[in-house]
Amino acid sequence: MENLINIDVVFDKLAFVNQKLAHREFDGCIFRNCDFAGSDLSNNSFTDCEFRDCNLGMVKFRETGLKTVLFSNCKVIGVRFDEADEFLFHVRFDNSVLDYACFENRKMPKTSFRHCSLREVIFTGADLSGSDFDHCNLEGAIFSETELKACDFTTAYHFSIDPEQNPMKKAKFAVEALPNLLSKYDIKII
User: Which pTM value belongs to this model?
Assistant: 0.94
Is a pLDDT exceeding 90 seen at residue 27? yes
Is a pLDDT exceeding 90 seen at residue 150? yes
CA angle 132, 66, 26 (to 5 degrees): 135
- What Å distances lie between residue 84 and 46, 61, 65, 181, CA to CA? 11, 5, 6, 31
pLDDT at residue number 183: 79
Range of the domain at 36: 1-78
Whether residues 66 and 122 fall in one domain: no
Q: Would you place residue 46 in the very low, low, confident or very high pLDDT band (cuts 50, 70, 90)?
A: very high
Structural domain total, the chain: 2
At 102-131, the pLDDT tens digits run 999 999 999 999 999 999 999 999 999 999
pLDDT at residue number 180: 80
pLDDT at residue number 30: 99
pLDDT at residue number 176: 87
pLDDT at residue number 3: 85
Nearby residues of 73 by Cβ (< 8 Å), 6 or more positions away = 52, 53, 94, 95, 96
CATH code assigned at 162: 2.160.20.80
For 140-170, b where at least 16 C-beta lie within 10 A, e where not — what string? Answer: ebbbeebbbbbbbbbbbeebbbeeeebebee
Whether residues 107 and 182 fall in one domain: yes
Is a pLDDT exceeding 90 seen at residue 190? no
What's the rounded mean pLDDT across residues 67-87?
Answer: 98
Whether residues 7 and 60 fall in one domain: yes
CA angle 62, 103, 72 (to 5 degrees): 85
**Amino acid identity, position 131:** S
Backbone angles phi, psi at 16, to 5 degrees: -140, 60
